[in-house]
Structure 1
Amino acid sequence: MFLRWSYVRFLFGLRHMGTTWQVGDGREQALADYVCAHARRNDIDDVIRAIDEFCYTKSYLINIGDEKGKILDRAVAAAHPHRLLELGTYCGYSALRIARVMPADAVLYSIEFNPANAAVARRIWDHAGIGERIVVLVGTLGDGGKTLSALRDEHEFAPGTIDFVFLDHEKDEYLPDLRRILDQAWLHAGSVVVADNVKYPGVPGYRAFMRRHESAHWRTREHRTHAEYQKIIKDLVLESTFLG
């Protein structure tokens, strides 16, 4: 994986990635083109397969990937959530995995910083036939209240209404955004928060927070795994249940 040109190009694009959440070589749009050309329409399993195929054989992408995706699948299935919040849509891969296993009447709200990424995700979701089950909002929870207000006023987020949260966005915002959610009292006892990339690239403050509050306000499982689309770099996915 480290010798693949797409990964080398990704490393050169890290500065661009940090400001726009795109690598800068068009691979995100190329993914949508590939999915529409190589995956069966209205077949979510085949769309997920096509994305994994693209990431292994064409261009490396920073979605959760197939190995860690199974951890996410199990967490969603166990939680039986009806209102879900995702921070970090990127190209829509994790949302596909979530939608595949969440209850039929559930709705996933996905927050994405980059409108171009949101457009790629919408195109892929529509091809998979699940676009009506996912609401994407362009913004961040830290944008001065705009996105928080939209969730409250337009989408009826209220105390105790979020059953599941998936964190896979700017790593420095994991803990601040969790605190914003807690300040809104949107979680209830039993709500589940899953966080990707806790070891690589790493979110030590978030991990320390969960360890500090273990058994008092949270109960956390640490899943030892690997960073996406390779077996060399180790990673952690945290699955935390809110105790109230």
Structure 2
Amino acid sequence: MSWKQRLPFLRWSLVRMALGMPEFIRTGQIGDGREEAAAAYVEAHARGGDVDHVLETIDEFAREQSMLMNIGDEKGIILDAAVRRAAPAQALELGTYCGYSAMRIARAAPTARVYSVEFSAANAAIARRIWAHADLDDRITCVVGTLTDGGKTLDALDALGFTAGSLDFLFIDHEKSAYLTDLESILDRGWLHPGSVVVADNIRIPGAPRYRAYMEEEQDKRWHTVEHKTHVEYQTLLPDLVLESDYLGEPT
């Protein structure tokens, strides 16, 4: 384990990320070009068509070059296991960023169609470059938008084949204050079915308290949730939580 994982607060890229959070909230990028640099690094150093090596190269960039807002390798293992358990034919991600977690989903569910919603067109373009390098661009589709845009993005997903009970797996990793409202929008569309699995990242840091409280209130009613204790990506000091929730259906 490198000192960058043990002592993340000494990394300039982490300080720059903290300073860039207002820019990240506004644009989806930190503002220092690290997302574009990550795509270029993958294209220069990762073996084309090798998904494992592309993911490893992104992890390497995030540990050794500049921190990224990916789920990362430690929490990624939790995501992988949940995807394999769900064995989805259709999977949806909220929050593409640079495309890392969508690739993990596609790798863990090799026959699934994966859709990812991202509000930043610049991030969507970066993710598509990385997916193309990994030869996954035929299985992952990025939709630029948000679920709070008056139904435009939800309707676009409808047109892509989201129908009643069709969604087997949902990964939530975007604006933390939108976790619960966006989940409710998906429930309103009826896309989930009993047995659908929902994974949500960063429940402790930065935190999604309303989402966590909802899952606690609905435990063994609409949902059965397991909380995974883990760490904020690419370091070992800051604790985090990942929630893995099975949809039980509407109470009768």
TM-score if structure 1 supplies the norm length?
Answer: 0.98
Structure 2 equivalent of residue 9 of structure 1 = 16
1:79 CA drift (Å)? 0.7
Q: What residue is the counterpart of 1:68 in the other structure?
A: 75
Report the Cα distance in structure 2 between the residues aligned to 1:243 and 1:125, rounded to whole angstroms. Answer: 33
Q: Is the counterpart of residue 232 in structure 1 residue 247 in structure 2?
A: no
- Pick from 16, 31, 42 the counterpart of residue 24 of structure 1: 31
Distance 1:229 1:88 in 2: 18
User: What's 1:203 paired with?
Assistant: 208
Q: Which residue of 2 aligns with 1:186?
A: 191
- Which whole-Å CA distance do the structure 2 matches of 1:6 and 1:217 have between them? 41
SS, match of residue 172 in structure 1: helix
Secondary structure, counterpart of 1:108 in structure 2: strand
Tell me if 1:214 matches 2:219.
yes
Residue in 2 that maps onto 1:77:
84
- Asked if residue 45 in structure 1 is aligned to residue 52 in structure 2, the reply is yes
| AA aligned opposite 1:30 | A
User: 3-state DSSP class of the match of 2:70?
Assistant: coil
* SS of the residue 1:132 aligns to: coil
1:53-89 alpha-carbon deviations (Å, 9 max, x no partner): 0000000011100000000000001110000010000
Selected match of 1:59 from 51, 57, 66? 66
> 1:117-165, CA deviations, whole angstroms, 9 ceiling, x for partnerless residues?
000000000000111000100000111110011111x212111010000
Aligned residues: 242
Distance in 2, Cα, partners of 1:197 & 1:180:
20
Report the residue type matching 1:177 in the other structure.
D
Match of 1:126 in 2: 132
Flag structure 2 segments of 5+ consecutive residues without an equivalent: 1-7
Quote the residue 2:153 is aligned against. Answer: 147
- The root-mean-square deviation of aligned C-alpha atoms, in Å, is 0.6
Q: Partners in 1 of 2:161 and 2:41 — Cα distance?
A: 36
1:101 aligns with 2:108: yes
CA contact (8 A) 1:82 1:103 kept: no
- Runs of 4 or more, structure 1, over 3 Å off, are none
Shift of 1:18: 1.1
User: What are the ranges of 5 or more consecutive residues in structure 1 without an aligned counterpart?
Assistant: none
